[in-house]
Amino acid sequence: MLIHQEFKTQRNNNITIYGSNLKIKIFYKVPAWSNEEEPAFKYRDNIYFLSEFMKMGKFEPDWMQEYSAYLIETAFSGILVKIDDKDNEHVKVYYYVG
């Protein structure tokens, strides 16, 4: 996996973001918790629904601000997404470790 960016936080922790700027097509599927279709995408053999992600806000760290949303997977890693503003039909997906 390609390193997209690396950061050092104010607490001197290293954050590494992996990704290749590859656009991934959004599709619609009914999740187990709903009766209605929701936007989703496939990444690393898993299906993720956009409703699982937290939208970026002003309280997230500076290194996260260029992304649209995030999903925490473990205490030290998660997924970042950029939603394509031009067509809203694609996402760019990144994996962070810190």
How many CB atoms are located within 10 Å of the residue 80 CB? 24
Which carries the bigger pLDDT value, residue 86 or residue 47? 47
Q: CB neighbours (10 Å) of residue 68?
A: 16
Q: What's the pLDDT score for residue 61?
A: 84
The count of other CB atoms within 10 Å of the CB of residue 87 is 9
Residue with tokens 């997906």: 93
What was the pLDDT predicted at 62? 84
With b meaning 16 or more CB within 10 Å and e meaning fewer, what string describes 1-10?
A: eeebeeeeee
25-79 pLDDT, tens digit each: 999 999 999 999 999 999 999 999 999 999 998 888 888 889 999 999 999 999 9
Predicted pLDDT of residue 54? 94
Confidence of residue 10 (pLDDT cuts 50, 70, 90): low
